[in-house]
Amino acid sequence: MVTTQQSRVAGETLSIDAVKSVALPTGVRLPYVERGDPDGVPVLLLHGYTDSWLSWEPVLPHLPGTMHAFVPTQRGHGDAERPEDGYGLHDFDADMAAFVNTLGLGPVVIVGTSMGSIVAQRFAIDYPERTRGLVLVAAATNWRTPETVEFSEIVAALEDPIDPGFVRGFQESTLARPLAPEFIDAIVAESLKMPARVWRAALEGCLEADLADALGAIDAPTLIVSAGRDAYLPSSEQEALVAAIPGARLIVYHDAGHALHWEEPARFAADLVAFVDGLAT
């Protein structure tokens, strides 16, 4: 199934490839966007908690056509299928392995932000032969910080329909500076597609994930991008990732919040391109 969708970045309507969808052997159908040269390095971009492929919309126009980008919406989120259960880390991880296999991709550079960074870590650990490189954005070794635990207590009490004002407040809390209202409106609308049960289950999956003891097994080149004004994850977590993953390199966006790729999409795209280009040398 292919549907046509327009993309807005910074108030400008862009022509973007049609949103496609793929049925996976894990039992879910996921929407995804594909852009770039089919012969280019495959780069898999994973969004954060309650988001969708739209989360990467600000970055996509800044990526060169030579990069073959794949941007899926993960299970339970956006317009992806929402099974009754199956929102642990291993479920998201299995989906991404199935996505790579089903589309016949070679080793990928896997990029994950926030929740997506946990999935990316697990993928690199479980499927080293399929991981060409790893980029972790607003990431952690353990997600049980005081801020995330407090937020989980609020999420535990959510009921459908979820209050749009609550969703807007949550999304704005990931920022250190204001963004275009139309982009925030679109992000809020995507988050509102997710029922309360999935808000709870996906967040529980994040908080239960603790990969600290397994990170030393990652042998793919790794870039960690940290936000200096992250309201949810302290810089000590990114420093712990650098210490745990052999050869990992850290870049800090000192004035950005948790959703740093929304605030500085051009800078992030440039750093990602430099990282990918470096893998070929």
Share of the chain above pLDDT 90, in %: 91
Higher pLDDT, 1 or 227: 227
Question: What is the per-residue pLDDT for 281?
Answer: 61
Question: How far is CA 86 from its chain centroid?
Answer: 18
Closest by Cα among 73, 79, 129, 80 to 101: 129
Write the pLDDT tens digit of every residue in 248-265: 999 999 999 999 999 999
Q: pLDDT of 213-223, one tens digit each?
A: 999 999 999 99
- Using an 8 Å Cβ cutoff, are 45 and 56 in contact? yes
* pLDDT greater than 50 at residue 8: no
Residue 194 has pLDDT above 80, yes or no: yes
Q: What is the pTM of this model?
A: 0.94
- Other beta carbons within 10 angstroms of residue 114's beta carbon come to 28
pLDDT band at 9 (very low <50, low <70, confident <90, very high): very low
Q: How far is CA 99 from CA 102, 132, 251, in A?
A: 5, 16, 29
Name the 3-class secondary structure at 40: coil
Peptide bond into 161 cis (omega under 30): yes
Question: pLDDT tens across 46-74, in order?
Answer: 999 999 999 999 999 999 999 999 999 99
Local structure of 134: helix, strand or coil: strand
d(Cα 207, Cα 200) in Å, to the nearest integer?
11
C-beta separation of 49 from 166 below 8 A: no
| Rounded-to-integer distance, Cα 31 and Cα 276, Å | 25
Q: Tell me the sheet residues that pair with 224.
A: 136, 250
Residue-level pLDDT at 3: 36
CB distance 99 to 22 below 8 Å:
yes
